[in-house]
């Protein structure tokens, strides 16, 4: 029996942990539907999630058994198809559920799915192929252009939807995989520096210190980069700093509000700050032991925004308390480190890169989703893997698990 389970799961610790997290998610979705004034849509969400979980497990069982060559073979075409789908989505996509204003869904008959979810996996596979084909590490900015562009294309399409949360997942994928491909950390930091500069530019003095630091680094380690690359980094920094003002002004008021509210939710407690405040009230009133499963008062009274999807972790906080949130975070921590561990043990470079890609995507999802429930991260509509309500998202997460365990246990 144990043997059978082992064979089915391929990687028992990872799959078992995620199986438990998925059940935990269903329980929370059920709880999220328990409100004083019932809403038929959210009340039955947990049943639909159960069905999707079964579908996801079936998909997992099959994909975890396909030959590795198939996966490698499908990477390129899948990437092309998903980019096309993303482009199509921009035209005929529709908004759904929690984000009606965002065109991120495609419908095929009665079933809808988000091409971005497919694109994440396809991008991971394509990037893993690209990077594993190299013999040496990426040591210069010029060498980063190809992998960077590979990710930038779907990222840009997702940004246009606009879905900032998923776009951030692509960034996570890129950096995690480049890191695993032995790209020097200082090089990654130089790449990231213009983005950091964009935010620091709100205060000229802070930015001035920062740019001096960047230039000093480039001068000190001038032998590591071509001159034009150094110049490009500096120019990019100046460009983003200059653009930060106009960029800020070009933001829609609600987007600006989200950033301001991140800095201080109380500036708009009934508007943009409402969600963070209500979420923090729920989490805080959970205290150490929580108010008990299904009995969170903020949740029951509908104060929690999107409590079965984006803010499901607030339900954890309110009903299961600090004990619950810590255990859940630890569970996610276990899953993430398990991915790294598998990557370190994997015999093929492709496998390690795929695992780190998945790691990067999930890390962003987990950090952003959980972080926003306590105001650590600005609010972006991004679900919590395996826990948030959402059929195709759960399915694609399990497909990712299947690929992860498949590549991790391939004997070269």
Shortest separation between residue 298's beta carbon and another protein, angstroms? 6
Shortest separation between residue 211's beta carbon and another protein, angstroms? 26
Query: Given its phi and psi angles, is residue 113 left (phi above 0), alpha (psi -120 to 50 degrees) or beta?
Result: beta
Q: Which helix (H) or strand (E) holds 108?
A: strand 106-108
- Per CB under 8 A, the list member of 239, 287, 292, 295 interacting with another protein is 287
Using rule CB under 8 A, residue 36 touches another protein: yes
Using rule CB under 8 A, residue 182 touches another protein: yes
141-160 and 68-92 helices, crossing angle to 10°? 50
- Per CB under 8 A, the list member of 57, 374, 409, 410 interacting with another protein is 374
Sort strands 111-113 and 106-108 into parallel, antiparallel or unpaired: antiparallel
Using rule CB under 8 A, residue 371 touches another protein: yes
What letter would DSSP give residue 270?
A: T
- Per CB under 8 A, the list member of 28, 56, 181, 408 interacting with another protein is 181
Using rule CB under 8 A, residue 37 touches another protein: yes
Stretch of residues binding another protein (CB under 8 A), selected from 1-9, 92-100, 151-159, 181-189: 181-189
Using rule CB under 8 A, residue 270 touches another protein: yes
> Do the Cβ atoms of 86 and 158 come closer than 8 Å?
yes
Q: Is omega for the bond preceding 162 within 30 degrees of 0, making it cis?
A: yes
Using rule CB under 8 A, residue 179 touches another protein: yes
Stretch of residues binding another protein (CB under 8 A), selected from 126-134, 146-154, 247-255, 386-394: 126-134
Nearer to another protein, 47 or 195 (CB): 195
The number of residues that bind another protein (CB under 8 A) is: 61
Query: Given its phi and psi angles, is residue 97 left (phi above 0), alpha (psi -120 to 50 degrees) or beta?
Result: left
Under rule CB under 8 A, which residues in 319-358 are in contact with another protein?
321-322, 325-326, 329-330, 332-333, 336-337, 340-341, 343-344, 349, 352-353, 356
What letter would DSSP give residue 107?
A: E
Q: Phi and psi dihedrals of 289, rounded to 5?
A: -100, -10
Stretch of residues binding another protein (CB under 8 A), selected from 46-54, 65-73, 95-103, 128-136: 128-136
How far apart, in whole angstroms, are the C-alpha atoms of residue 270 and residue 273? 6
Using rule CB under 8 A, residue 284 touches another protein: yes
Using rule CB under 8 A, residue 136 touches another protein: yes
Shortest separation between residue 349's beta carbon and another protein, angstroms? 5
Nearer to another protein, 77 or 333 (CB): 333
- What is the distance in angstroms between the CA of the first residue and the CA of the last residue of the chain? 28
Compute CA distances 9 → 60, 105, 215, 317, whole Å: 9, 31, 50, 30
Q: Which helix (H) or strand (E) holds 164?
A: helix 164-180
- Per CB under 8 A, the list member of 5, 88, 137, 206 interacting with another protein is 137
Using rule CB under 8 A, residue 363 touches another protein: yes
- Per CB under 8 A, the list member of 112, 367, 409, 410 interacting with another protein is 367
> Do the Cβ atoms of 329 and 387 come closer than 8 Å?
no
Using rule CB under 8 A, residue 303 touches another protein: yes
Under rule CB under 8 A, which residues in 61-80 are in contact with another protein?
none
In terms of C-beta density within 10 A (0-12 exposed, 13-18 middle, 19 or more buried), how is residue 259 classed?
middle
Shortest separation between residue 185's beta carbon and another protein, angstroms? 8
Q: Which helix (H) or strand (E) holds 88?
A: helix 68-92
Compute CA distances 229 → 138, 181, 182, 222, 240, whole Å: 14, 20, 19, 10, 16
Shortest separation between residue 294's beta carbon and another protein, angstroms? 16
Which residues contribute to the site for another protein (CB under 8 A)?
35-37, 131-132, 134-137, 139, 176, 179-182, 185, 270, 278, 280-288, 297-298, 300-304, 317, 321-322, 325-326, 329-330, 332-333, 336-337, 340-341, 343-344, 349, 352-353, 356, 359, 363, 366-367, 370-371, 374, 376
């Amino acid at each position: 029996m144990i043997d059978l389970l082992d064979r089915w799961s391929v990687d028992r610790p990872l799959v078992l942990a995620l199986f438990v997290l998925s059940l935990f998610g269903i329980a929370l979705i059920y709880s999220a539907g328990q409100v004083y004034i019932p809403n038929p849509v959210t009340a039955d969400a947990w049943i639909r999630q159960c069905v999707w979980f079964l579908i996801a497990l079936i998909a997992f069982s099959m994909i975890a058994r396909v030959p590795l060559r198939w996966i490698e073979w499908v990477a390129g075409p899948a990437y092309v198809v998903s980019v096309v789908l993303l482009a199509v989505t921009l035209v005929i996509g529709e908004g759904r559920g929690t984000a009606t204003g965002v065109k991120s869904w495609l419908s095929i008959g009665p079933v809808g799915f988000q091409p971005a979810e497919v694109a994440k996996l396809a991008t991971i596979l394509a990037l893993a192929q690209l990077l594993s084909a190299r013999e040496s590490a990426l040591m210069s900015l010029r060498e980063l252009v190809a992998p960077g562009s590979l990710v930038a294309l779907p990222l840009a399409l997702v940004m246009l939807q606009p879905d900032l949360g998923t776009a951030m997942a692509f960034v996570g994928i890129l950096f995690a995989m480049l890191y695993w491909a032995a790209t020097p950390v200082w090089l990654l930091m130089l790449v990231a520096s213009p983005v950091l500069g964009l935010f620091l530019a709100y205060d000229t003095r802070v930015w001035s210190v920062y740019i001096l630091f960047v230039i000093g680094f480039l001068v000190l380690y001038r032998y590591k980069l071509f001159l034009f690359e150094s110049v490009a980094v500096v120019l990019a920094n100046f460009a983003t700093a200059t653009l930060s003002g106009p960029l800020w002004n070009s933001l829609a008021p609600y987007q600006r509000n989200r950033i301001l509210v991140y800095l201080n939710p109380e500036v708009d407690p009934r508007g943009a700050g409402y969600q963070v405040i209500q979420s923090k009230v729920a989490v805080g009133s959970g205290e150490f032991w929580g108010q008990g499963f299904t009995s969170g008062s903020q949740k029951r009274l509908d104060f929690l925004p999107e409590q079965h999807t984006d803010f499901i972790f607030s339900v954890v906080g309110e009903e299961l308390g600090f004990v619950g949130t810590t255990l859940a975070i630890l569970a996610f921590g276990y899953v993430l480190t398990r991915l790294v561990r598998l990557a370190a043990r994997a015999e093929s470079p492709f496998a390690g890169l795929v695992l780190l890609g998945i790691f990067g995507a999930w890390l962003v999802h987990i950090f952003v989703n959980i972080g926003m429930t306590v105001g650590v991260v600005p609010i972006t509509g991004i679900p919590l893997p395996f826990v948030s309500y959402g059929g195709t998202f759960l399915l694609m997460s399990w497909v990712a698990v299947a690929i992860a365990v498949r590549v991790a246990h391939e004997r070269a």
